[in-house]
Amino acid sequence: MSVIFLKGLAVLGFIAVSAMFSIWLERKISAWIQNRMGPMMTGFHGTLQPVADTIKLLLKEDIVPKGVDFLSWWLAPFFVTVPVVMAFLVIPFSSKWIALDLNVGVLYVCSVTSICVLGIFMAGWGSNNKYSLLGGMRSAAQIISYEVPLLLSVLLVVMQSGTMSMQGIVAAQEHGWFILKPHLTLAFLIYFISATAEVNRVPFDIPEAESELVAGYHTEYSGMKFAMFFVAEYTNMFIISAIATTLFLGGWQGPFLPGLVWFLLKSYGLVAFLMWMRWTLPRVRMDQMMSFAWKVLTPMALLNLLISGWFMVK
Amino acid sequence: MMIRLFTGFYSILKGFKVTFKNMLKKPVTLNYPIVKKPMTDRFRGMVDLVPEKCVICYQCIKICPTAALELEHKVLEDNKTKTITKFVFNGELCCFCGFCGEICPTDAIFLNKMYEVSYFAHKDLLTIDLMRKDKYKHVDGGESS
Amino acid sequence: MGELLTVNMGPQHPSTHGVLYLELKMDGEIVVDCKPHLGYLHRSIEKIAENRTYTQFIPFTDRLDYLASMNNNLGYCLAVEKLLNIAVPDRAQYLRVIIAELNRAVSHLVAIGTFAQDLGAYATPLFYAFRDREKIVDLFDSICGGRLTYNYMRIGGVSADIPARTEQIIKDFIAYERKQLIEYNELLTYNVIFLARSKNIGILSKEVARSYSVTGPMLRASGIKWDIRKEEPYSMYDKFDFDVPVGANGDSWDRFKVRLDEISQSLRIVEQAIGGIPEGNPVSKVNRVFRGTGEAYVRTENPRGELGFYLVAEGGFNPTRCKIRSPSFSNLGALSELVKGLNISDAVCVLGSMDIVMGEIDR
């Protein structure tokens, strides 16, 4: 019992540090891309900037706007943050560093992370704000439709390795990463695009589209509640990168360096790529995004599943 | 359909190339409060005055489009020399056009190089006494001559 | 059709370019009706002109279209010169053309950057545009001392001659900017998401454009070849060789592309002008006193369209009436026609492609 408790604490600590590091990294990468310097004043090259931001957000007044649907408005940040924490349960940081190696790990992660949409929709509905409502509506449609190609591409990995346990999938990649196999390369691309949409990152950031909807579903949140959305967003980004690492990039395996280092390197590499993408591409439109999911990604994932499944059985 | 997908993908990769190339370039911004950019020779900052040079011709008062300057003088007992009793600059009305400096026959009034023009109190900005030596000393980087 | 949703977009909104207030009636995400409300930045500049001398009004023209102060200065000074029959030295004419064209180029850069920002390309194209603009702003700073409100042109000349090395800086900028334009094309123009977002969105037909008296890049994007610099050459424009880029469909992408092409055309004009600046004294002192009678209307090609100054004088030191025909105001009229039936994202895209400046709309 106490071991699980300690593991939980370690996960919480990691989430806090990881989110702060991601925020710092995002600000620095955006600055480098835009020929700026980024945060420079707090700490060495602004490393303590996220800490300062957190303190600022903690000290802010918690404003409850007039006319909110209080229960759903108040609960929404928790619905967004808690599943993110829960997903860490099955992520294998190294051969030993895993909180709990469930035998349905992949299923668990996919089901837990899709609870987030509920929180986002609650935030959009409860805020009693038209921009938030539009953002919440968009988000619900987006996340649910991108769940399909995401699961279809993950299914292929499960078929390939024959197990749903995260450690089992990593072990199956001992003699070559899954991404090196052609059908799984396609699956990786589909997974990565859908996962980007799943966490509302550019070019699929339409729920919080700044130039249209001000801030989307979290327009009315301030202080620590806003911080929770923020932390959830960045931790989500880490989670999809970590899952991609585990499923396609050989997890913690790698020469010379210890497993943990390899895992973090690969995951943060993907996180950095997501950030690079954010500062490069424009945003797609709602209907374009939906038709991309249903007319391109889903058929491709299905076809991929069908063809490679046929070869596997044969 | 497939061709469109691939050309689209290629165009996105081109965008990535551009941002990556720029990522390796040196930043063009300055680490502002520590490093400051020198102002150019003709830069128009706050209105400044060398009281000794002023001949009280009232040209600057007349040309000012926003009436930001206020000048009063009195004639001394010998009925010849004039002396300034009040020369106040309203920093809020000023539009930094530089007409006063351009028209001044003796270059007494000019626009200095001070660009950090924030004040702690609103009324300090409204009544800047141009006759005082230390009028712009409160702001870091402000220079007065 | 269900119940309509009224969304008040602005005056404080990230993508309304200042303090424009759009009253959108929406059916879900589709815009059914759009009503722009103006007046949040009104400063009664036309009335101010009646109470200032001709020279004193020049700084106020800076504040009309604050992204293209030089062009506004030029338009006003030309109007006063026409009214009072004032001769301008050749060197001043050349300097005015060079400065105005450079200002046009950087103003279009801002338009491109903000348009990309409206399409959700977070800040990066905007920062690139501002990085390039900064070079010209620095140059203008060294020429006239201002970084946004330049106040450079004077009636009958300019305020100061260009400092040494300016020609070299301009030549360097032209070479640099031509390279950057390729980069913009790679980053934005032919990007598949950018194309999908802006192609065939907000098509402005020739007839509608004419009936709303739309001008500038917006009109040219609709396929009408109309440029005051060609049709009614003012200053020195008839001496230079340049093309007028025209769009094919009149959609948002065309408006963007026309601006991008106009930058290279402006650079061409500057390149020709910089070689042939005659010697002389372009400076016109600020203490010249003007008075006269009559009326004059001068229209010039601003980055955003046709800027007109109508001056009436009755012998005093100041004009009796000054009417400003601002391009953004007329262009904005076509907005509600364009956004009907579009998605809210597209409405933002159309508004961004129109490149309005509120300082000029409200005056």
Tens-place pLDDT, residues A143-188: 888 888 888 888 888 888 888 888 888 877 877 777 777 778 888 8
What residues of chain C lie within 8 A of the CB of B8, using their CB?
A: 192-193
**Each residue's pLDDT tens digit, A28-86:** 888 888 888 888 888 788 888 888 888 888 888 888 888 888 888 888 888 888 888 88
Mutate to test the interface with B, among C135, C191, C194, C290 (most CBs of B within 10 A): C191
Residue A22 lies in a domain: no
Q: Which residue in this structure is represented by tokens 């909110």?
A: A68
Residue A36, domain member (yes or no): no
Determine, yes or no, domain membership for A1: no
CA angle B23, B29, B33 (to 5 degrees): 135
Query: In this structure, is the dihedral angle defined by the CA atoms of residues C133, C255, C153 and C94, taken in order, positive or negative?
Result: positive
- Tell me the CA end-to-end span of chain A in Å, nearest whole number: 46
Asked if residue A228 lies in contact with residue A77, where contact means CB atoms within 8 angstroms, the answer is yes
Q: What are phi and psi of B134, to 5 degrees?
A: -100, 35
Q: ipTM score here?
A: 0.81
Chain B CB contacts of C52 below 8 Å: 65
**For A232-250, what is the mean pLDDT?**
86
CB A46 within 8 A of CB A27: yes
B58 at the C interface (CB within 8 A)? Answer: no
**Contact, C43 vs C17, CB < 8 A?**
no
Query: What does DSSP assign to residue B139?
Result: S
Q: Would you state the pLDDT for residue A40?
A: 83
pLDDT tens readout for residues B90-115? 888 888 888 888 888 888 888 888 87
Are the beta carbons of B18 and C116 closer than 8 angstroms?
no
> For position C103, which CATH number holds?
1.10.645.10
Residue A211 pLDDT class (50, 70, 90 cuts): low
- Of all helices (H) and strands (E), which one includes residue C180? helix C166-184
Query: Smallest Cα–Cα separation from A196: which of A231, A233, A228?
Result: A233
What pLDDT score does B143 carry?
45
- Sketch out chain B's domains with CATH numbers: 47-129 (3.30.70.3270)
B142: pLDDT strictly greater than 50: no
Annotate B32-68 with DSSP letters as a single string. TTTS-PPPPTT---SEEE-TTT-----HHHHH-TT--
Angle at C99 between CA C304 and CA B112, to 5 degrees: 110
SS3 category, C49: helix
Spatial contact of A203 and A279, defined as CB atoms under 8 Å apart: no
Q: Nearest Cα to B29, choosing from C158, C128, C103?
A: C128
CB-based contact A36 B28, cutoff 8 Å: yes
pLDDT, tens only, C55-80: 888 888 888 888 888 888 888 888 88
In a domain, A3, yes or no: no
Tell me how close the Cα of C186 comes to any Cα of chain A, in angstroms.
Answer: 11
Cβ distance B95 to C149 less than 8 Å, yes or no, reads: yes
Q: Which of chain A's residues have a Cβ under 8 Å away from the Cβ of B4? A: none
Residues of C in Cβ contact (< 8 Å) with A208: none
- Partner residue opposite B19 with nearest CB, options A36, A41, A276: A276
- Residue C22 host element (H or E): strand C21-27
Is residue B21 within 8 angstroms of chain A, CB to CB? Answer: no
Residues of B in contact with C143 (CB under 8 A): 42
Of the partner residues C138, C163, C187, the one whose CB lies closest to the CB of residue B15: C187
Contact B27 A35 (CB under 8 A): yes
Task: Work out the minimum CA distance from B74 to partner chain C, whole angstroms.
Answer: 25
Residue A184 domain-assigned (yes or no): yes
Look up the domain containing A213 and give its range.
Answer: 57-313
Residue B144 confidence (pLDDT) above 80: no
C121-138 burial, b at 16+ Cβ within 10 Å, e below that, comes to: bbbbbbbbbbbbbebbbe
Say yes or no for a CB contact (<8 Å) between C121 and A205.
Answer: no
To the nearest whole Å, the CA of B4 is away from the closest chain A CA by 12
Contacts of A262 (CB under 8 A, 6+ apart): A252, A253, A254
Is residue A32 a part of any domain in this protein?
no
pLDDT, one tens digit per residue, over C119-170 is 877 788 888 888 888 888 888 888 888 888 888 888 888 888 888 888 888 8
Smallest CA–CA separation between C104 and chain A, in Å?
23
Residue B145 has pLDDT above 50, yes or no: no
Q: Is B10 on the interface with A (CB under 8 A)?
A: no
| Secondary structure (H, E, C), chain A | CHHHHHHHHHHHHHHHHHHHHHHHHHHHHHHHHCCCCCCCCCCHHHCCHHHHHHHHHHHCCCCCCCCCCHHHHHHHHHHHHHHHHHHHHHCCCCCCCCCCCCCCHHHHHHHHHCCHHHHHHHHHHHCCCHHHHHHHHHHHHHHHHHHHHHHHHHHHHHHHHCCCCHHHHHHHCCCCCHHHCHHHHHHHHHHHHHHHHHCCCCCCCHHHCHHHHCCHHHCCCCHHHHHHHHHHHHHHHHHHHHHHHHHHCCCCCCCCCCHHHHHHHHHHHHHHHHHHHHCCCCCCCHHHHHHHHHHHHHHHHHHHHHHHHHHHHC
* Structural domain count, chain A: 1
CB contact under 8 A, C196 and A284: yes
Q: Quick one: residue C85, left, alpha or beta (phi over 0 = left, psi -120 to 50 = alpha)? A: left
Contact B98, C151 (CB under 8 A): yes
Phi, psi of C313 (to 5 degrees): -125, 145
Contacts of B15 in chain A (CB under 8 A): 280-281
Whether chain B has a CB inside 8 Å of the CB on A35: the answer is yes
Q: Find the CB nearest B28 among A29, A35, A40.
A: A35
> Is residue C216 scored above 70 in pLDDT?
yes
Question: What are the pLDDT digits (tens) for B69-83?
Answer: 888 888 887 777 778
Closest residue in A to C187 (Cα) is A280
Tokens of C314: 């009755």
Domains identified in chain C, total number: 1
Chain C residues near residue A283 by CB distance under 8 angstroms: 119-121, 193, 197, 345
**Beta partners for A300?**
none
Nearest Cβ partner of C121 from A35, A36, A281? Answer: A281
CB A120 within 8 Å of CB A272 = no
Of A46, A236, A8, residue with least CA distance to A139? A236
In whole numbers, what is the pLDDT of chain A averaged over residues? 83
Which residues of chain C have a Cβ shorter than 8 Å from any chain B Cβ? 52, 55-60, 63, 124, 128, 131, 134, 138, 141-146, 149, 151, 159-160, 163, 183, 186-188, 190-193, 285-287
- Chain B closest CA to C132's CA: distance in Å? 10
Chain B residues in contact with C193 (beta carbon < 8 A)? 8, 12
Name residue C31's beta-bridge partners: C26
Give the separation between CA C18 and CA C345, rounded to whole angstroms: 18
Reference C350, options C330, C336, C329; nearest CA is C336
Per the structure, the complete domain to which residue C185 belongs is given by 5-362
The tokens describing A198, both together, are 């799943």
Asked if the C-beta of A275 comes within 8 angstroms of chain B's C-beta atoms, the answer is no
Q: Which residue has tokens 């050989």?
A: A250
Work out the burial of residue B104: count CB atoms within 10 Å of its CB; fewer than 13 is exposed, 13-18 middle, 19 or more buried: buried
Specify the residue for token string 């008075």: C291
| pLDDT at B141 (0 to 100) | 46
Q: Do the beta carbons of residue C220 and residue C258 sit within 8 Å?
A: yes
- How far apart CA A1 and CA B45 sit, in angstroms, is 69
Residue A232 placed within a domain: yes
| Interface B:C, Cβ pairs < 8 A | 79
Interface test with A, best of B3, B12, B23 (most A CBs within 10 A): B23
Q: What subunits touch chain B, counting only 3 or more CB pairs under 8 A?
A: A, C
Stretch among A109-123, A141-155, B119-133 having the lowest mean pLDDT = B119-133
Chain A from 193 to 252: CB within 8 A of any C CB: 202-203, 205-206, 209-214
